[in-house]
Copies of this chain bind each other. A is one copy, B any other.
Amino acid sequence: MGRCSDARDRLLAVASQLVHERGYTAVSVSDICKAAGLKKGSFYHFFRSKHELVLATLDRFAEHQEVGMQQALQSGRPVSEQLAGMLTSMYAGYMRAKRNFGSAHGCPLGNLAQEMAHRDTDIQNKLATIFARWQTQLIFLLRRAADRGELRVPDAERSAEALVAYVQGVTLLAKTTNDPDVFLRLAHGMVALAQAELPTAPAPIDVEEPSHSDGLHTCQASEVLS
Protein backbone atom coordinates (compact mmCIF):
# COMPACT_ATOMS: atom_id res chain seq x y z
CA MET A 1 0.00 0.00 0.00
CA GLY A 2 1.00 3.58 -0.36
CA ARG A 3 3.30 4.61 -3.14
CA CYS A 4 6.12 2.65 -4.47
CA SER A 5 9.19 4.31 -5.86
CA ASP A 6 12.57 3.42 -7.23
CA ALA A 7 14.16 6.19 -5.22
CA ARG A 8 15.91 3.81 -2.88
CA ASP A 9 17.59 2.02 -5.77
CA ARG A 10 18.53 5.29 -7.37
CA LEU A 11 20.12 6.39 -4.14
CA LEU A 12 22.12 3.19 -3.88
CA ALA A 13 23.31 3.37 -7.47
CA VAL A 14 24.23 7.02 -7.33
CA ALA A 15 25.91 6.64 -3.96
CA SER A 16 28.22 3.83 -4.99
CA GLN A 17 29.18 5.86 -8.05
CA LEU A 18 29.95 9.02 -6.16
CA VAL A 19 31.67 7.36 -3.23
CA HIS A 20 33.83 5.49 -5.69
CA GLU A 21 34.73 8.68 -7.48
CA ARG A 22 35.32 10.98 -4.53
CA GLY A 23 35.52 8.89 -1.38
CA TYR A 24 33.18 8.56 1.57
CA THR A 25 34.01 11.74 3.40
CA ALA A 26 34.17 13.93 0.35
CA VAL A 27 30.66 13.03 -0.80
CA SER A 28 27.85 14.82 0.95
CA VAL A 29 24.30 13.65 1.41
CA SER A 30 23.24 16.66 -0.61
CA ASP A 31 25.49 15.59 -3.47
CA ILE A 32 23.89 12.18 -3.48
CA CYS A 33 20.39 13.63 -3.39
CA LYS A 34 21.10 16.06 -6.16
CA ALA A 35 22.48 13.29 -8.36
CA ALA A 36 19.51 11.05 -7.58
CA GLY A 37 17.10 13.87 -8.29
CA LEU A 38 15.36 14.15 -4.95
CA LYS A 39 15.45 16.10 -1.72
CA LYS A 40 17.19 15.35 1.50
CA GLY A 41 13.94 14.58 3.26
CA SER A 42 13.45 11.62 0.93
CA PHE A 43 16.93 10.41 1.63
CA TYR A 44 16.27 10.21 5.33
CA HIS A 45 13.05 8.42 4.63
CA PHE A 46 14.99 5.49 3.21
CA PHE A 47 18.22 5.58 5.20
CA ARG A 48 18.87 6.62 8.73
CA SER A 49 22.29 8.04 7.85
CA LYS A 50 24.95 8.30 5.21
CA HIS A 51 26.80 5.56 7.06
CA GLU A 52 23.88 3.18 6.67
CA LEU A 53 23.52 3.98 3.00
CA VAL A 54 27.12 3.06 2.30
CA LEU A 55 26.74 -0.21 4.17
CA ALA A 56 23.77 -0.96 1.93
CA THR A 57 25.78 -0.24 -1.20
CA LEU A 58 28.37 -2.72 0.02
CA ASP A 59 25.73 -5.39 0.41
CA ARG A 60 24.58 -4.72 -3.10
CA PHE A 61 28.14 -4.89 -4.35
CA ALA A 62 28.67 -8.20 -2.62
CA GLU A 63 25.61 -9.70 -4.32
CA HIS A 64 26.73 -8.62 -7.77
CA GLN A 65 30.24 -9.88 -7.08
CA GLU A 66 28.89 -13.27 -6.00
CA VAL A 67 27.11 -13.77 -9.30
CA GLY A 68 30.15 -12.76 -11.30
CA MET A 69 32.41 -15.10 -9.41
CA GLN A 70 30.21 -18.11 -9.95
CA GLN A 71 30.34 -17.52 -13.68
CA ALA A 72 34.09 -17.09 -13.64
CA LEU A 73 34.70 -20.40 -11.90
CA GLN A 74 32.97 -22.26 -14.70
CA SER A 75 35.21 -20.91 -17.43
CA GLY A 76 37.44 -23.73 -18.59
CA ARG A 77 40.43 -21.60 -19.49
CA PRO A 78 43.89 -22.39 -18.11
CA VAL A 79 44.21 -21.07 -14.59
CA SER A 80 47.44 -19.16 -15.11
CA GLU A 81 45.70 -17.40 -17.96
CA GLN A 82 42.73 -16.66 -15.76
CA LEU A 83 44.96 -15.23 -13.04
CA ALA A 84 46.83 -12.94 -15.38
CA GLY A 85 43.50 -12.14 -16.99
CA MET A 86 42.30 -10.60 -13.78
CA LEU A 87 44.84 -7.86 -14.20
CA THR A 88 44.70 -7.55 -17.96
CA SER A 89 40.96 -7.17 -17.83
CA MET A 90 41.39 -4.53 -15.17
CA TYR A 91 43.58 -2.81 -17.71
CA ALA A 92 40.66 -2.92 -20.07
CA GLY A 93 38.33 -1.60 -17.40
CA TYR A 94 40.75 1.18 -16.58
CA MET A 95 40.94 2.26 -20.20
CA ARG A 96 37.20 2.10 -20.56
CA ALA A 97 36.70 4.19 -17.44
CA LYS A 98 39.22 6.71 -18.64
CA ARG A 99 37.46 6.95 -21.96
CA ASN A 100 33.96 7.18 -20.53
CA PHE A 101 34.49 9.25 -17.41
CA GLY A 102 37.82 10.99 -18.00
CA SER A 103 39.72 9.08 -15.35
CA ALA A 104 39.77 5.82 -13.45
CA HIS A 105 39.23 5.66 -9.74
CA GLY A 106 40.69 2.35 -8.73
CA CYS A 107 38.86 -0.41 -6.91
CA PRO A 108 35.80 0.81 -5.03
CA LEU A 109 36.46 -1.70 -2.29
CA GLY A 110 40.11 -0.81 -1.99
CA ASN A 111 39.35 2.88 -1.89
CA LEU A 112 36.79 2.47 0.83
CA ALA A 113 39.01 0.11 2.78
CA GLN A 114 41.93 2.47 2.71
CA GLU A 115 39.80 5.41 3.75
CA MET A 116 37.48 3.86 6.30
CA ALA A 117 38.74 0.50 7.58
CA HIS A 118 40.45 2.00 10.61
CA ARG A 119 37.67 4.43 11.39
CA ASP A 120 34.46 2.48 10.95
CA THR A 121 34.24 -1.09 12.13
CA ASP A 122 30.96 -1.80 10.34
CA ILE A 123 32.44 -0.90 7.00
CA GLN A 124 35.65 -2.69 7.91
CA ASN A 125 33.81 -5.92 8.70
CA LYS A 126 31.77 -5.80 5.56
CA LEU A 127 34.86 -5.24 3.44
CA ALA A 128 36.76 -7.97 5.22
CA THR A 129 33.92 -10.37 4.47
CA ILE A 130 33.96 -9.50 0.80
CA PHE A 131 37.72 -9.96 0.60
CA ALA A 132 37.41 -13.28 2.39
CA ARG A 133 34.79 -14.52 -0.04
CA TRP A 134 37.00 -13.47 -2.90
CA GLN A 135 39.86 -15.38 -1.35
CA THR A 136 37.72 -18.48 -0.96
CA GLN A 137 36.93 -18.50 -4.66
CA LEU A 138 40.59 -18.14 -5.48
CA ILE A 139 41.41 -21.11 -3.27
CA PHE A 140 38.99 -23.22 -5.31
CA LEU A 141 40.60 -22.04 -8.49
CA LEU A 142 44.12 -22.74 -7.28
CA ARG A 143 43.24 -26.19 -5.92
CA ARG A 144 41.69 -27.14 -9.22
CA ALA A 145 44.79 -25.99 -11.04
CA ALA A 146 46.94 -28.04 -8.69
CA ASP A 147 44.79 -31.14 -9.16
CA ARG A 148 44.99 -30.84 -12.91
CA GLY A 149 48.73 -30.42 -12.70
CA GLU A 150 48.49 -27.01 -14.29
CA LEU A 151 50.35 -25.28 -11.49
CA ARG A 152 52.43 -26.22 -8.50
CA VAL A 153 50.57 -24.68 -5.57
CA PRO A 154 52.40 -25.32 -2.30
CA ASP A 155 49.83 -23.46 -0.19
CA ALA A 156 46.55 -22.46 -1.77
CA GLU A 157 45.25 -20.48 1.20
CA ARG A 158 48.28 -18.28 1.47
CA SER A 159 48.58 -17.84 -2.25
CA ALA A 160 44.95 -16.80 -2.50
CA GLU A 161 45.44 -14.27 0.26
CA ALA A 162 48.58 -12.98 -1.41
CA LEU A 163 46.73 -12.66 -4.70
CA VAL A 164 43.98 -10.57 -3.18
CA ALA A 165 46.58 -8.27 -1.69
CA TYR A 166 48.54 -8.12 -4.92
CA VAL A 167 45.54 -7.16 -7.00
CA GLN A 168 44.78 -4.35 -4.61
CA GLY A 169 48.36 -3.16 -4.59
CA VAL A 170 48.68 -3.22 -8.35
CA THR A 171 45.48 -1.25 -8.69
CA LEU A 172 46.74 1.35 -6.26
CA LEU A 173 50.01 1.66 -8.11
CA ALA A 174 48.28 2.02 -11.46
CA LYS A 175 46.13 4.76 -10.04
CA THR A 176 48.98 6.58 -8.37
CA THR A 177 51.22 6.53 -11.40
CA ASN A 178 48.21 7.07 -13.63
CA ASP A 179 49.66 4.35 -15.81
CA PRO A 180 47.32 1.50 -16.78
CA ASP A 181 50.22 -0.41 -18.32
CA VAL A 182 51.13 -1.38 -14.77
CA PHE A 183 48.37 -3.97 -14.99
CA LEU A 184 50.01 -5.57 -17.99
CA ARG A 185 53.57 -5.32 -16.72
CA LEU A 186 52.72 -6.93 -13.39
CA ALA A 187 50.30 -9.60 -14.58
CA HIS A 188 52.97 -12.28 -14.42
CA GLY A 189 53.26 -11.72 -10.68
CA MET A 190 49.91 -13.40 -10.25
CA VAL A 191 51.31 -16.71 -11.42
CA ALA A 192 54.41 -16.24 -9.30
CA LEU A 193 52.36 -15.73 -6.18
CA ALA A 194 50.15 -18.69 -6.98
CA GLN A 195 53.23 -20.90 -7.05
CA ALA A 196 55.12 -19.19 -4.25
CA GLU A 197 57.28 -21.49 -2.16
CA LEU A 198 57.02 -21.41 1.59
CA PRO A 199 60.20 -20.44 3.36
CA THR A 200 62.28 -23.43 4.46
CA ALA A 201 62.59 -21.97 7.91
CA PRO A 202 58.94 -22.00 9.03
CA ALA A 203 58.76 -18.22 9.31
CA PRO A 204 60.98 -15.47 10.66
CA ILE A 205 58.62 -14.64 13.50
CA ASP A 206 61.27 -12.85 15.44
CA VAL A 207 59.97 -9.42 16.33
CA GLU A 208 63.44 -8.08 16.02
CA GLU A 209 64.95 -5.27 18.03
CA PRO A 210 62.37 -2.62 17.19
CA SER A 211 64.53 0.36 16.35
CA HIS A 212 67.13 -1.17 14.05
CA SER A 213 64.81 -0.14 11.27
CA ASP A 214 65.19 -1.55 7.83
CA GLY A 215 64.43 1.77 6.33
CA LEU A 216 63.01 0.64 3.04
CA HIS A 217 59.63 0.20 4.64
CA THR A 218 59.21 3.06 7.05
CA CYS A 219 55.64 2.96 6.00
CA GLN A 220 54.04 2.66 9.40
CA ALA A 221 55.88 5.84 10.12
CA SER A 222 53.74 8.17 12.05
CA GLU A 223 56.59 7.75 14.44
CA VAL A 224 59.28 8.56 11.93
CA LEU A 225 57.68 11.94 11.48
CA SER A 226 58.66 13.21 14.92
Contact = CB atoms under 8 A, between A and B. Distances in A.
Interface stretch (A36-44, A143-151, A181-189): A181-189
Contacts of A225: 12-13, 16-17, 57, 60-61, 64
A110 to B, nearest CB: 6
Nearest to A102: B118
Given A172-B165, A193-B192, A215-B68, A208 B92 contact: yes
A215 B77 CA distance: 13
Interface in A153-190: 158, 161-162, 164-173, 175-178, 182, 184-189
Q: Count chain B CB atoms within 10 A of each CB in A21, A69, A172 and give the residue with the most.
A: A172
A17 B188 contact: no
A107 interface: yes
A192 B196 CA distance: 5
Q: How many copies does the complex hold?
A: 2
A69 B25 contact: no
A178 to B, nearest CB: 7
A93 B220 contact: yes
B168 A182 contact: no
Interface in A108-161: 108-111, 113-115, 117-119, 124, 127-128, 131-132, 134, 137-138, 141, 158, 161
B161 A216 contact: no
A125 B127 CA distance: 28
B204 A81 contact: yes
A205 B221 contact: no
6 contacts: A13-B225, A68-B216, A75-B214, A117-B176, A127-B176, A168-B172
Q: Which 5 A-B pairs have the closest CB atoms?
A: A169-B169, A93-B220, A68-B215, A72-B215, A192-B196
